[in-house]
Amino acid sequence: MKTVFTLLILLHALIHLLGFVKAFQFAELKDFPLQISKPVGLFWLGSAMVLLTTGFFYFKENPYWWLFAFVGLILSQVLIISQWSAAKFGTLPNLIILVVAIISYAQFNFEKKIAEEIRETLPSSDPLLPLTESSIQHLPISVRRWLQYSGVIGRPAIQSVYMQQSYQLKLKPEQKNWYTANATQLSVTNPPSFVWSVDVQMMPMLYAFGRDKFVEGKGEMLIKLLSLLPVAKDGYNPQFNEAALQRFLGELVWYPSAAVLDYIEWKEIDNNKAEATMTIGQTKGKGVFEFDDEGKLLQFTANRYMSSGADAIKKDWVVRTLSYKEFNGVQLPNKCNATWVLESGDWTWALFEVDSVVFNIH
């Protein structure tokens, strides 16, 4: 579709270039019926040049291509209106380009908003001390094994982690086919917070762009169709705040050194299980981590709100580890799935893979 749309812009630009050629009589264009003066011909040339630039920038995925599109469309449509009887069909490609440019502009603004939230979320506190064998002795035995296996003992503590992720999603239990998605996430351990953005490809030419965040014990979610039309918004209520906190807690395995921080209280269940309770301000939540004898996470389970409001109910939410991978010397789960346990049966709604990891960005 990218190539097709680029060709549409370039073809539209070349037609405008014919107006310039006709005005200056560089060629005899019998099938181009417009009568154009030389001064107006320069405007046809200008419109063609702006549209050619638009096509080039769009193909190169320049984030500002829409700016040139708006300028080119204004010039183009004014010229078309001045020759309406012969040139009115040029309005159709202008409308197509306009719709795509508006969507791109909305995407640009949404991504700009997320980038600002990421900048505001980056850690500003002093670096955390590295973990030592003595600093983890108060933790359950399974948690100690996990921290040792992860390789974070003696290393600089993880204060932030930026990840790129690939997803397969089912947004409803009855959905048969998976949606493909790409996501990025910044997580900060002190103070605990995350900003997650996702681009979900639902079908050709139809996608949804969303953002989840958890800051100061409060969660918020926003999803827009084509980055333009809000289709889901929730947050800043006790149920959603708790659910977002539990997500942060479950993702502790991506920033293991946070296990010793004061906002988490551990309780040993047995040699391979431990319950963690996390408290931030008025928001509190818990979950159970299960590890194997080597120290690898097997799964995280939390009784979690599926929605918010007075009628919100809790269901078991299970994240299972499918494989591990080393990132910058730290062993992390890199493939997982997430499942809601429902009366009608398990709903595995997400399969995801961590593609890249950067620790302690500033």
The pLDDT tens digits of the residues spanning 332-355 come to: 999 999 999 999 999 999 999 999
Half-sphere exposure for 30 (CA within 13 Å, toward CB): 0
Give the H/E segment covering residue 323.
strand 314-327
Last residue of a domain, one of 89, 104, 119: 104
Distances (CA, A) of 142 to 60, 112, 132, 155, 196: 50, 42, 16, 20, 29
- Token pair listed for 334: 């890199």
20 assigned to some structural domain: yes
- Token pair listed for 278: 């996390």
User: What pLDDT score was predicted for residue 87?
Assistant: 83
| Residue 99 shares a structural domain with residue 137 | no
More confident residue, 189 or 85: 189
User: What pLDDT score was predicted for residue 205?
Assistant: 76
Cβ atoms of 29 and 18 within 8 Å: the answer is yes
pLDDT tops 90 at residue 301:
yes
More confident residue, 32 or 64: 64
The alpha carbon of residue 102 and the mean position of all alpha carbons in its chain are separated, in whole angstroms, by 20
| Residue 238 shares a structural domain with residue 339 | yes
| Residue 97 shares a structural domain with residue 135 | no
Give the H/E segment covering residue 345.
strand 345-359
pLDDT tops 70 at residue 85:
yes
The pTM of the full predicted model, rounded to 2 decimals, is: 0.88
- Which residues, in sequence order, are CB contacts of 92 under 8 Å at separation 6+? none
CATH of the domain at 250: 2.50.20
Using CB atoms within 10 A of its CB, is residue 2 exposed (0-12), middle (13-18) or buried (19+)? exposed
Segment 224-280, tens digit of pLDDT: 998 989 888 999 999 999 999 999 999 999 999 999 999 999 999 999 999 999 999
The alpha carbon of residue 208 and the mean position of all alpha carbons in its chain are separated, in whole angstroms, by 10
312 assigned to some structural domain: yes
Cβ atoms of 73 and 58 within 8 Å: the answer is no
121 assigned to some structural domain: no
117 assigned to some structural domain: no
118 assigned to some structural domain: no
| Residue 205 shares a structural domain with residue 354 | yes
| Residue 94 shares a structural domain with residue 18 | yes
| Of 20-34, 57-71, 188-202, minimum mean pLDDT range | 20-34
Using CB atoms within 10 A of its CB, is residue 329 exposed (0-12), middle (13-18) or buried (19+)? exposed
Q: What is the mean pLDDT of residues 198-215?
A: 91
Segment 161-170, tens digit of pLDDT: 999 999 999 9
Segment 105-160, tens digit of pLDDT: 999 999 999 999 999 998 776 777 889 999 999 999 999 999 999 999 999 999 99
User: What pLDDT score was predicted for residue 143?
Assistant: 98
Average pLDDT, the chain: 93
| Residue 135 shares a structural domain with residue 282 | yes
Cβ atoms of 347 and 170 within 8 Å: the answer is yes
| Residue 59 shares a structural domain with residue 145 | no
119 assigned to some structural domain: no
109 assigned to some structural domain: no
Locate the DSSP E strands across 107-217: 160-169, 179-189, 192-203, 206-215
| Residue 234 shares a structural domain with residue 312 | yes
Residue 285 belongs to what domain range? 129-359
pLDDT tops 90 at residue 72:
yes
| Residue 230 shares a structural domain with residue 137 | yes
pLDDT tops 70 at residue 32:
no
| Residue 99 shares a structural domain with residue 140 | no
Taking alpha carbons only, the member of 233, 207, 293, 295 closest to residue 259 is 295
Backbone phi and psi for residue 189, each to the nearest 5 degrees, phi listed first: -90, -25
- Specify the number of domains making up the chain: 2
Rg of the chain on CA atoms, in Å: 27
120 assigned to some structural domain: no
Select, from the ranges 23-32, 306-315, 346-355, the one with the highest average predicted confidence (pLDDT): 346-355
| Of 59-73, 124-138, 210-224, 268-282, minimum mean pLDDT range | 124-138
| Residue 99 shares a structural domain with residue 133 | no
Cβ atoms of 155 and 359 within 8 Å: the answer is no
CA 113/CA 109 separation, integer angstroms: 6
- Which residues, in sequence order, are CB contacts of 171 under 8 Å at separation 6+? 179, 349
CA 173/CA 157 separation, integer angstroms: 39
| Residue 80 shares a structural domain with residue 182 | no
Angle between helices 38-59 and 65-82 (to 10 degrees): 150
Cβ atoms of 311 and 130 within 8 Å: the answer is no
Give SS3 for 122: coil
